[in-house]
Amino acid sequence: MVLRTTPPGHDVILYDGHCRICSGAAREFQKLLGGRGTQLRSFRDEGVLVGFPGISAERCENAMQLVQADGRVLEGAEAIVRALGRHPLGRLLYVYYVPGLRQLVDVFYRAFARYRFKIAGRTCSDGGCEVHFK
């Protein structure tokens, strides 16, 4: 089942602004995508998720979300592949869809996302890290 939300009219990447790794990746995405119609927003900023019904903070805790212009939502590694696919060199990432490779990359992504705060050596004051340190 494909998750849908309110169509923003352009792609929106929802990332974790409290995560050093995620924030760094968002800055790199911004450089690569420039003015190609993709907006990057931290899901932790006040009011951001209100604009995207159906996308919970818990879902965002577990994986980066790509809200496409038409309201379809992709997450995790596939969101990265699709978001960067607009960049000329990003099309090389479509190797992700090779059978077997996708499953392997998804397992790696889920593990990395789960332990990202430990990997980055960060603790949070708002309890967000506790989700990942269980």
Q: Does 85 map to a domain?
A: yes
Pairing outcome for strands 65-67 and 38-42: unpaired
Residue 68 has pLDDT above 50, yes or no: yes
Per the CB < 8 A criterion, the answer to whether 38 and 11 are in contact is: yes
What's the total number of domains in the chain? Answer: 1
110 found inside a domain: yes
Q: Is the residue at 106 inside a domain? A: yes
User: What does the pLDDT read at residue 133?
Assistant: 45
pLDDT at residue number 132: 46
Is residue 133 domain-resident?
no
- Report yes or no on 131 lying in a domain: no
Q: Give residue 86's pLDDT.
A: 77
Question: Span 60-69, mean pLDDT?
Answer: 96
**pLDDT for the residue 124:** 55
Enclosing domain of residue 113: 3-123
**Is 42 contained in some domain?**
yes
pTM: 0.85
* 5-35: b (≥16 Cβ within 10 Å) or e: beebeebbbbbbebbebbbebbeebeebbee
As a whole-number percent, the residues of the chain with pLDDT over 90 amount to 68
Banded model confidence at residue 127, pLDDT cuts 50, 70, 90: low
User: Does the pLDDT at position 62 exceed 70?
Assistant: yes
Is 80 exceeded by the pLDDT of residue 134?
no
Cβ 85 vs Cβ 93: under 8 Å = yes
CA 93, CA 28: separation in Å to the nearest integer?
Answer: 16
Q: What is the mean pLDDT of the chain?
A: 88
- Residue 109, domain member (yes or no): yes
Mean pLDDT computed over 39-68: 96
